[in-house]
Amino acid sequence: MQRMHRSSAWTGRVLGAFYVASSVLLVPRLGVALTFSLIIAGQMLIILVIDHFGLLGIAIKEISLPRLLGVTLITIGVVLIRKF
């Protein structure tokens, strides 16, 4: 148990550092609104996968039309922010 805790802590640290570094590098190139819209859209897609397969020990929640519509609307918002 202790070994698993240690490895997940290191994974969290590495992913956190990647998040901060990529945000710092992308904001000047893409702008704040687009960068964080992409981050939120990516998180929503990952959440759908995690819920659908019950990863990380959570209850399975299948992908439904309203959930897909929500992610689609967020993606459309990202495209609109990029375009205008």
Q: Cα dihedral sign for 25, 28, 34, 36?
A: positive
In the numeric block, which tokens belong to residue 35? Answer: 């960068």
Give the pLDDT confidence score for residue 59 in this predicted structure: 93
- Residues 46/48/53/59 CA torsion (nearest 10 deg): 110
Do 50 and 56 form a contact (C-beta atoms < 8 A)? Answer: yes
pLDDT classification of 3: cutoffs 50, 70, 90: low
pLDDT classification of 2: cutoffs 50, 70, 90: low
Give the pLDDT confidence score for residue 63 in this predicted structure: 92
pLDDT classification of 20: cutoffs 50, 70, 90: very high
